[in-house]
Structure 1
Amino acid sequence: MRRRELLIGSGAALLAGCDSPQPELAGGWEGGAHAERGHRLRSALPKPGDGPLRRTKILIIGGGVSGLACARALSQAGSSDFALLELEDACGGNSRAHKMGGMACPTGAHYLPLPGSQSREVYQLLEELGLVQQQFGRAVWDERHLCHSPQERLFFDGAWHASLLPPALTDAALAQQRLFERLVESAQATLGFAMPSRRAAWGAGHAALDGQTFAAWLAVEGLQDPHLLWYLDYCCRDDYGAGIQTVSAWAGLHYFASRHGFHPANSNGEREAVLTWPQGNAFLTDAIAAPLAAQIHRGRSVLQVEAGKHGVEVLAWNETGQAPERWQADQVVLATPLLVANKLLGQRLAPLTDAVKQLRYAPWLVANLQLKVPLLQRIGAPPAWDNVIYGSQALGYVDAMHQSLKPQAGATVLSAYWALPQARRAELRQQDWRHWLGQVLAELSPVHPDLAGQLQRADLVRWGHAMSIPLPGVRSSAALQALLTPQGRIHFAHSDLAGYSVFEEAYTRGHEQGSSLAG
């Protein structure tokens, strides 16, 4: 605790300029996510008749990955009588981007695994964007968009190692890793997993896994090596926002069995290639949004959705004009988190209300740190795209300039990620950005003691409800299943319907919903 307090204090001293001749460090909360807009639902609503009336056949509420995918599917089917209302000034949801010192960096989601055979819609999108093409019956990827080597490294036992899986220091530890590998392979063969998850048949075996925590299942299977358990916990926090004590055993296995498996004997230690860009997944969402500009209305806080016999009435607030707007549509697609959809519908739809009671959302902090020069390196593996510290509460950092083709390293932006416990949501909302920067520095400074001295600017992003956590029972939820079908004139398209948040789930659900309405 004393070391942590010292590091936080040193960060605060730098910010205050007390012990340094440098001026106060520039930075703050990045303005791309407006909490006051999201909280406008708590305010008194305008009168029902206020504001100009606009009509459209299909109205999409939410311009994240699902909403954009829905709009894209409608457009590609030849439909133009639709509109999309987005809360923020830019689309993309938690895949939006930022710039520091002319360098692009992510504010949230920052990579996409290569899609498997079940992710047909995602593959088609990537093909249409020119990232992959079929040659002689096989997919050939544009290597400029694949993560450059080295892809990842872990600071463990005083040195960097070229993998996020801690090295097996004993035969017993290696035996534990191989046991988990066999268990994943067995689950793939006997149960079946897919991405998106609803394209795998659901049976009693899946339900049994979904009824217990991942930690409980691991204990029953005899997996107890602390280094392996740390790695599995890290993977769950990275993908789901919560660790093995919280997420279901189905979710823990799904992470590996639906994608790249688990291969401790891999000679280079790295996972399969992923697609990534300096701006993260904003590369994809910006490309999707660009041809839809005429139908997208940004800066619209939707306040109320009323479904009637002959249509749906939507009350919104124009953030630019600071005035109310009214919309009428034949059909409405709610591409928002389900907790938001429930408020917009006045908590009157039983399956939605039941689903929201089961969901819990993880708060996230993303700190983009602009550096003057590269950091000094410790022994071991060279700097990588993804850099993780063993035992840290945080999730490490990615180097925004790693994908650059510059021959020499220089100024860059490190994007540090932290999936916070739900109990710290109020702290995230209330505390000053300097408080959180001090905590980020405290996590990274033991490995990078020169970080504070090279820091030029810090822009932080807070996500109060970043992603749905796949708690035990969520994937089996009858309420979530019910929301996959239309509720009158209301349709739902969000990754919440899968019980967790990844690009493939969001995009596929949005595309399916748009294709259905277009038909």
Structure 2
Amino acid sequence: MLGLLASGCTTDAPPLQGGWVGTHPERGHRLRGELPKADGPLKTTGVLIVGAGIAGLACARALAKRGIDDFAILDLEDQAGGNSRGHSIGGSACPLGAHYLPLPDAQAREVGELLHELGLAREQLGRTVWDEKHLCHSPQERLFIAGEWRDGLLPPPEGAAAQAQYRRFSDRVTQAQRELGFAMPSHRARWTPGHTALDSQTFAAWLDREGLNDSRLRWYLDYCCRDDFGAGADIVSAWAGLHYFASRHGFHAPGDEAGEREPVLTWPEGNGWLSAQIVAPLHERIHLGRTVLRVTERRQGIELLAWNEAADAPERWAARAVVMATPLFVSGHLLAAPPDALRSLKQRHAPWVTANLSLREPLLQRPGAPPSWDNVRYGSTALGYVDARHQTLDPTPRAPLLTAYLALPETQRGELLKQPWQHWAQVVTQELAQTHPDLPAKLERIDLCRFGHAMSIPTPGLRGSAELAALNAQRGRVVFAHSDLAGYSVFEEAYTAGVEAAARLSL
């Protein structure tokens, strides 16, 4: 079936098992057809939340904490969590999407409160103490470069001139933190003309003007942009490129005393662990396999038309208010009368593929740093892989369960939909074979998940746009809750957007 995948495979090797999992693009594409007529029973609730991703779940959780339990969540997929969902192969958990959460600072107070309530953190003598079981175990990350694995993901500079560029970029990040201010979530930092200037140009153009052209440094910065934003430094804004570092841990050149690695929370199933904890007390109010087709605001409230995928029939809902916790471009299609800001918003989204690979036996080790949680190949446009079994406390030796990530160019969105899973299995496997030549022959199963519009790309002009400002401020019976409101997609932005949307509702 996939003879090209395996160098050295024999013809009598068992066929590779696998396929698409996790998402159903055909459901979302129902919006392209004619709306069905629905005359069945009318379901009623106080608040409808469209979308069971992190923002929608956070909104529901916030309503429940206020004592409001008259709400329902609708989602077209069969599992809640959006980009933060888990999967399993052979009984072993692995991620479908996001796989870690940096430790939040004081600005991300809603996320901090969530993590305390879930028992991941506690206050002791005036400081936050984290449950080490949930912190990424060592070794955390490594980079394959010049034929060997090196600890950490930042490529070592080649010579004094390159080291000077690393330090100059570190200084620029520190200067931006001090003079402009950056926060996570981003709206907790006051927007200034300096931010607007950064937001008006690409990160690559800003780096060029700063004389930061070292090839290894530029590869690393491009990797960081693709990792968080789904697109490279030539596409995202300079605000986004600096925000990646300045809103969190800064940038530390090799040899800096402050260059401690950022601790992160992670689980075998990635952020699917977090979404499952949020879902647990809400599951009776979550209606999965409901593809929302139209949301109409009437004088007396909200009317919603959905398609029940299991029943293969339309479904009518009525509510006093609605939270659109879907990507903003999707909300624009769903709302019968979208606001002007939504009509005029120009927002691009990156397609992604995640692939979980189950191996028959351990991989041969290459020279250098030992197997780590996060593993990346220098020079590649792929985002590397994590080992879902890295966090297990079971000492029994087992073959790794790898989760590989591809951020694709927007031009490949159509190919992502049209090409069979075997094609993308080959793409993923050929990439991993660059560092593990024995992997194809040891591959037993590969489950792939495709996200056609996985992440908002913070292109120049988006973050500071009047449209995003208006949608973030909207109050009433229709409000928006999604990480798209920040112009890019991370857990902290999504969760905060959901909590704040609950407060803006008119009930």
Q: 2:375 aligns with which of 387, 394, 410?
A: 387
Structure 2 match to 1:6 = none
Answer yes or no: is 1:353 the counterpart of 2:343.
yes
CA distance in 2, matches of 1:88, 1:418: 21
Answer yes or no: is 1:138 the counterpart of 2:127.
yes
1:5-16 pair list within 5 angstroms: 12-13=3-4
Task: Quote how far apart the aligned CAs of 1:413 are.
Answer: 1.2
The answer as to whether partners of 2:475 and 2:506 remain within 8 angstroms in 1 is: no
The answer as to whether partners of 1:361 and 1:467 remain within 8 angstroms in 2 is: yes
CA RMSD of aligned residues (A): 1.8
CA distance in 1, matches of 2:127, 2:262: 17
Answer yes or no: is 1:316 the counterpart of 2:272.
no
Q: Deviations over 1:89-132 (max 9, x none)?
A: 11000111111121111011110000011000000000000000
Structure 1 match to 2:83 = 94
Q: 2:263 aligns with which of 273, 276, 279?
A: 273
The answer as to whether partners of 1:11 and 1:441 remain within 8 angstroms in 2 is: no
CA distance in 2, matches of 1:322, 1:267: 61
Structure 2 match to 1:510 = 498
Answer yes or no: is 1:115 the counterpart of 2:104.
yes
Q: 1:290 aligns with which of 274, 280, 286?
A: 280
CA distance in 2, matches of 1:267, 1:387: 24
Q: What TM-score, normalized by structure 2, do the two folds share? A: 0.97
Structure 2 match to 1:41 = 31
Secondary structure at the counterpart of residue 93 of structure 1: coil
The answer as to whether partners of 2:474 and 2:504 remain within 8 angstroms in 1 is: no
Secondary structure at the counterpart of residue 188 of structure 1: helix
CA distance in 2, matches of 1:266, 1:139: 25
Equivalent position amino acid for 1:233 in 2: D
Task: Quote how far apart the aligned CAs of 1:266 are.
Answer: 4.9
Q: 1:311 to 1:518 in 2, by over 3 A?
A: closer
Q: 2:13 aligns with which of 22, 26, 29?
A: 22
Q: Deviations over 1:328-380 (max 9, x none)?
A: 1111000000111000014642111111xx10000001111101222111111
Task: Quote how far apart the aligned CAs of 1:146 are.
Answer: 0.3
Task: Quote how far apart the aligned CAs of 1:296 are.
Answer: 1.1
Q: 1:491 aligns with which of 475, 479, 500?
A: 479
Secondary structure at the counterpart of residue 392 of structure 2: coil
Answer yes or no: is 1:330 the counterpart of 2:341.
no
Secondary structure at the counterpart of residue 45 of structure 2: strand
Secondary structure at the counterpart of residue 363 of structure 1: strand
Secondary structure at the counterpart of residue 483 of structure 1: helix
Identical positions, percent: 61
Structure 2 match to 1:417 = 405
CA distance in 1, matches of 2:343, 2:241: 26
Secondary structure at the counterpart of residue 382 of structure 1: coil
CA distance in 1, matches of 2:188, 2:450: 33
Secondary structure at the counterpart of residue 463 of structure 1: strand
Structure 1 match to 2:445 = 457
CA distance in 2, matches of 1:230, 1:41: 39
Task: Quote how far apart the aligned CAs of 1:269 are.
Answer: 6.4
Q: Which runs of 5+ in 2 are unaligned?
A: none
1:60-459 pair list within 5 angstroms: 60-264=49-253, 265-266=255-256, 271-346=261-336, 348-355=338-345, 358-459=346-447
The answer as to whether partners of 1:51 and 1:323 remain within 8 angstroms in 2 is: no
Secondary structure at the counterpart of residue 320 of structure 2: strand
Equivalent position amino acid for 1:359 in 2: Q
Task: Quote how far apart the aligned CAs of 1:501 are.
Answer: 0.3
Q: Deviations over 1:154-192 (max 9, x none)?
A: 001111110100012211111111110000000000000
The answer as to whether partners of 2:363 and 2:399 remain within 8 angstroms in 1 is: no
Which range moves more in the overlay, 13-22 or 379-388? 13-22
CA distance in 2, matches of 1:186, 1:143: 33
Equivalent position amino acid for 1:447 in 2: T
The answer as to whether partners of 1:241 and 1:467 remain within 8 angstroms in 2 is: yes
Structure 2 match to 1:479 = 467
CA distance in 1, matches of 2:259, 2:440: 31
Task: Quote how far apart the aligned CAs of 1:287 are.
Answer: 0.4
CA distance in 2, matches of 1:286, 1:364: 22
The answer as to whether partners of 1:79 and 1:518 remain within 8 angstroms in 2 is: no
Runs of 4+ in 1 over 4 A off after TM superposition: 14-18, 266-270
How many equivalent residue pairs? Answer: 506
Q: Which runs of 5+ in 1 are unaligned?
A: 1-9
The answer as to whether partners of 1:11 and 1:452 remain within 8 angstroms in 2 is: no
